[in-house]
Each structure stands twice: as C-alpha cells, then as structure tokens.
Amino acid sequence: MAAGSRLDSAPLSERLPGTWKLVSRIDVVTADGQRSIDPALGEDPIALLFYDRSGHFSAQFMKRDRTTPAADAPAGGPNNSRARGGYDAYFGSYRVDDVTGCVTQRLLGCLSNENVGQELTRAMTVAGDTLTIQLQTTSSRGEPITRTLTWQRVG
C-alpha cells in the first residue's frame, strides 16, 4: 500500500499483518554507534516474517553465506532467541499494544527448545511498506545492544 494511504493513519494492529522481507539488521553496542556483528547470523542475514490478522506469526532468519559452518549461538540474550548452525526460526501468537507501539510475541515453537514459551516484546512502527523493529538485548559476548531490524512488505 502506498505511503499516504488511509492505512498510514490506522493503528499498528491494522498495519502490521502481512509478509515482510528483511532489509537490514543492525546491532549497535555503544552510544557513538559502534556496531556488533552477530557471528551466528552474520551482518546481512536473509529473513521472512509473517503476521496474520488472527494473532499468529512466524519468523525465519538465515545467515546469507552458509558455505562455512556457523557455530551455534550461545543461549539467547534477553528478549531474543538462539540461532543454530546459521539459522533461527520460531512461531506463535502475538498481541499489539496500539498505545505503546509494542508487540509481544509468545513463542509456541522454536528451533531452540529453551525458547519455547518465551515472550519477546519489541517496539514496532509501520510507515507505508516499511516495518521497523527495535529491541534491547545482548550480543553473543554479553554486551548490551540495541537491535534495529528494517523490513519491506512483500505481501
């Protein structure tokens, strides 16, 4: 849907459903913008994210270059799941808080069994066909990071 349409003024709960392709995933470690690269998924992973109108979602992330083995990530940081072998996937239910712009996802199934049942809460905005997700977590080395994921609507 084009920017400036009726949907742009609709609440997040109405703008979020759809299929989204990852454009960028940036982890910032410091206030001056120093970046951290996730060794499990790399600097430029491939990903798809699906939200339906009945409250279900699914997410899949893959390291773009899997020609060399990727080590399993350590246990997922706060508000995050764990990748294995350069891949991460999970699905479940979600709810939107239109007042705060936050989406809470309850993980019903995951690649890493320790993430089953986990709740992940992320700040989200949709502007036109762009979804931006921000969350606070930690890097694989335990450093606090701000992760920003930018997605493009593909369906």
Domains of the chain with CATH codes: 6-153 (2.40.128.280)
Specify which of 23-37, 43-57, 62-76, 140-154 reaches the highest per-range mean pLDDT.
43-57
Distance, in Å, from the CA atom of 107 to the CA atom of 3, rounded to the nearest integer, reads 31
Reading the block at residue 137, the tokens are: 């977590």
Cβ–Cβ under 8 Å, residues 152 and 35: no
**58/67 Cα distance (integer angstroms):** 25
| 69-88 pLDDT tens trace | 776 666 667 778 888 889 99
Rounded (5°) CA angle 53-59-62: 155
CB neighbours of residue 30 within 10 Å: 12
Question: For residue range 89-108, what is the model confidence (pLDDT) as tens digits?
Answer: 999 999 999 999 999 999 99
